[in-house]
Amino acid sequence: MIEDKNPQRTPLSELGEFGLIEHLTNHIEIKQPSTIKGIGDDAAILDFEGKKTVVSTDLLVEGIHFDLSYVPLKHLGYKAVMVNLSDIYAMNAVASQITVSIAVSNRFPVEALEELYDGIKMAAKIYDVDIIGGDTTSSNRGLIISVTAIGYAEEDEIVYRDGAKEKDLLVVSGDLGGAYLGLQVLEREKEVYKVNPNTQPDLDKYSYVIERQLKPEARKDIQQLLKKLDVKPTSMIDISDGLSSEIIHLCKQSKVGINLYEDKIPLDPTIISTCEEFSLNSTTVALSGGEDYELLFTINQDDYPKIKANPNLTVIGHVLDEKSGMALVTRANERIELKAQGWNPMKG
Amino acid sequence: MIEDKNPQRTPLSELGEFGLIEHLTNHIEIKQPSTIKGIGDDAAILDFEGKKTVVSTDLLVEGIHFDLSYVPLKHLGYKAVMVNLSDIYAMNAVASQITVSIAVSNRFPVEALEELYDGIKMAAKIYDVDIIGGDTTSSNRGLIISVTAIGYAEEDEIVYRDGAKEKDLLVVSGDLGGAYLGLQVLEREKEVYKVNPNTQPDLDKYSYVIERQLKPEARKDIQQLLKKLDVKPTSMIDISDGLSSEIIHLCKQSKVGINLYEDKIPLDPTIISTCEEFSLNSTTVALSGGEDYELLFTINQDDYPKIKANPNLTVIGHVLDEKSGMALVTRANERIELKAQGWNPMKG
C-alpha cells in the first residue's frame, strides 16, 4: 500500500553492527542542558540539578503492536517515541532524553532502518528530547523497538495516579476513539488490497482517524497549558489502553469511585461518521479503543473556572467515594459499571 | 538438558496482561534511597540529589543472544541484568535502578516467566538495585528482554572511554575467555544431546567456564576496590565483545595507540586446558571471545604501586601515541596489529 517504487536496498551485513549504530546515530545532536554525555560510551550521563528524574519504558513488537503492511517505518519510529513521552507527560514532568533499542531481522535493508530512525529523530526534534543511547541488534524474525524515556520535574510538580479526591472533576484532553477507528480503516484497506492490489484507496475522508493511529502526538502541550493556567491535577494518567481502563487505574489507585457521563465524552465529527459506517457504538470505541495518548486527569472543583473555556479540555465526570463504584452514566441516565474493556450492567 | 521433570504450566492468558505484570512484580521491594516511586505509575521517579544520572540499555533476543535449550531462565534473567549493570560500573558509577521489559510468546507458561523474574530479582537483590518499571507484552515468537540500568556518580568520579593518555598502563580485572569457552562446551553438549537424549553429561570439570557463560557477575567490586585503593582510571570500558574490540574502542576514542602483551593476558587454568581440548588458541579466545563482563581500564603509571599486589587486577599493556597503532606483542616478541575480531600481521 504505502511503498517506495524504487527502493534502495543495502544489506545490513554491509555495515556490520558497530557500523550500523554509528551510521544511524552519527548526526544526532544533543540539545538538552541536562545531557552531559549521549551516545558513544558505556552509558549516558545526565544532570538534573536537584530535580527528580522520571523514567518510563515500553517495548513494541512487530505483529503485536504494529503491522508493517500499512504502518510506514517513519511513522512507527515517531509513534514509538510518542508512546513513551506520553508516560512522562502523564507525571506532569518534562521529557528530556530517550534511549532507543532496536532488534531487526536481515529482511530489513539499511534504508528501512534509516526510515525508522528518521521518524525517531523527527519526534526527538519536535518534542525537544535528546537521543542518548541504545542498542541495535539482530532478531531472527521481525522488528522490535524498545524505548526508555527520561524526564525531570520539581518534586511538588509531579502528579501521581493516586491523588484523586472525592468531588474532584475528571478531565480529558483532545478527543477519543480516533486511533482505534484509524486502525479499523487501515485493516479494511489491507483486506481490500489483498483482493485487488491495483485498487487506489481514497482515504481522504479518514485522514483524521488514520493520522490519530499512525502519527499520534503526545500531549506535551497540556502539561505546559496546565502550568500556564495554574492548575495542578490531583491525579493523572495517559490514555494508552482506552478511557475505561485508565479511569479504573486512577480510581483504584486513588481509592475513589466515579461517574463518567456518556454525553460528555469528546468525539470528533469524523469519529461519529466513521463509527456509523463501521456500525460501531462511538461510546464503546472511546471507552475501549485505546492508543489516543490523550491525558486523563482529575482537578479540584475550585480550579474549574480556570479550565472551563479551554477547547483542549473537557470535563467528563466527577469523583465519588470508593463505595459508590465506577460507573458510566448513559444518555438515558442509567448508571452502568465501568469495565476495563467495554462495560456491563451494574449489579444491585 | 536442564529441565524440570514435573513442570506446572499456567497459560499466560489465565492472568491477562495487567494480571501478569502485577503477578511478576508485586513483591518487588524498593531499597535505594534514590527511588522515590517504582512500579505502578506512568513512570518511575528518582532523586539523585545533585549527582549525575547514568543510563544504559540493552536488548536480548532469543536465538541471537541466548539459546533456551541450555540456558535456564533464571540464569538468563540474572545475566540480562548483569549485562546492563556492567555498563554502569564501566562509567565508574553506582548502579541503583533497572527497568525490565519482556516480550514473550504464548509458548511460555506463567511459571517460565516467574523463573526469569526470579533471576532478575536475585540479581537486583545481590547488586542492590531497585526494579522500578517495565513492560510485559506478547511476542509472536520467542522471548525478548530489554533492560535499562540507571545509576549515579559525582561528576569527578565518572570515567569515560576517551581519557587514556600515552604512558598509561592498561589493566583488566579477573580473567578472560571463560564465557566463550563455556558457550563452546554447552553447544557441544547440545549436539550430543540431540544424538542421544539419555546421555548424562559430566560437566564438572567445565563448571568454571559454564558459570562464566551462564551466570556472569558484573564487576561492582572493582569500582569499589578502585575507590578504596584511591585509583581513578583515566579511561574504562566493560568487556562484552572481546578484549580486542574493547581495546580498539578505548584507543580510538582516546586517540592513542597501545601495546598489549600476550603473555600478560590473565587466563584461568581451566581456560588453558579447555582450549587445548577444543584445539583453540587461548589468546584468540581471550581477544575475541567476549561476554566476560570484566572491566578494562587505563591508569596513570604513578598509580601502579597501588594496584600491583592485587590479585583481581592485571596490567596487560601500555598506552602509546596514536601513530604507533594498536598491537599485540606476542610471546615471540612480534608486534601484530589488533583487529576487532582476531588480528592480522602489522604492515610496514
pLDDT tens readout for residues B194-206: 888 887 778 889 9
Radius of gyration of chain B from its Cα atoms, rounded to whole angstroms: 21
Inter-chain residue contact B238 with A61, CB threshold 8 Å: no
**Within chain A, which residues score under 50 in pLDDT?**
1-2, 342-348
Q: Residue A70 has what pLDDT?
A: 87
Inter-chain residue contact A99 with B161, CB threshold 8 Å: no
The larger pLDDT score, comparing residue B120 to residue A193, is at: B120
Report the run of H or E that residue A261 belongs to, with start and end: strand A257-261
Chain B neighbors of A32, CB-CB under 8 A: none
Distance from CA of B158 to the nearest CA of A (A): 9
The larger pLDDT score, comparing residue A41 to residue B179, is at: B179
Instruction: State the distance between the two ends of chain A, measured CA to CA, in whole angstroms.
Output: 51
* Residue type for position A73: L
The larger pLDDT score, comparing residue A64 to residue B134, is at: A64
pLDDT tens readout for residues B160-174: 999 999 999 999 999
pLDDT, mean over chain B? 91
Q: Residue B18 has what pLDDT?
A: 67
Distance from CA of A37 to the nearest CA of B (A): 9
> Cβ of A263: how many Cβ atoms within 10 Å?
10
DSSP class of residue A161? Answer: T
Q: Residue B6 has what pLDDT?
A: 61
Distance separating alpha carbons of residues A30 and A125, to the nearest angstrom: 10
Q: Which fold has domain B12-157?
A: 60s Ribosomal Protein L30; Chain: A; (3.30.1330)
Inter-chain residue contact A55 with B97, CB threshold 8 Å: yes
Chain A neighbors of B160, CB-CB under 8 A: 37, 41
Q: Residue B188 has what pLDDT?
A: 92
Confidence of residue B1 (pLDDT cuts 50, 70, 90): very low
Collapse the DSSP code of B31 into the 3-class scheme (helix H, G, I; strand E, B; otherwise coil) and give the result. Answer: coil
Report the run of H or E that residue A326 belongs to, with start and end: strand A326-329
The larger pLDDT score, comparing residue B17 to residue A190, is at: A190
Mutate to test the interface with B, among A45, A160, A246 (most CBs of B within 10 A): A45
Q: Residue B106 has what pLDDT?
A: 85
What is the location of CATH 3.30.1330.10 in chain B?
12-157
CA B2 to chain centre: 23
Which class is A169-345 in CATH? alpha beta
Q: Answer whether A292's CB lies under 8 Å from A177's CB.
A: yes
Q: Residue A19 has what pLDDT?
A: 76
Confidence of residue B344 (pLDDT cuts 50, 70, 90): very low
pLDDT tens readout for residues B28-41: 888 898 998 888 88
Minimal Cβ distance to A43: which of B47, B91, B155: B91
Distance from CA of B202 to the nearest CA of A (A): 32
What is the location of CATH 3.90.650.10 in chain A?
169-345
How large is the average pLDDT for residues B91-111? 92
Distance from CA of A125 to the nearest CA of B (A): 20
pLDDT at B105 exceeding the cut of 80? yes
Minimal Cβ distance to A61: which of B55, B137, B153: B137
pLDDT tens readout for residues B265-297: 999 999 999 999 999 999 999 999 999 999 999
Radius of gyration of chain A from its Cα atoms, rounded to whole angstroms: 21
The larger pLDDT score, comparing residue A346 to residue B302, is at: B302
Confidence of residue B7 (pLDDT cuts 50, 70, 90): low
Q: Residue B198 has what pLDDT?
A: 82
pLDDT tens readout for residues A17-43: 667 777 888 778 888 989 988 888 889
Inter-chain residue contact A87 with B63, CB threshold 8 Å: no
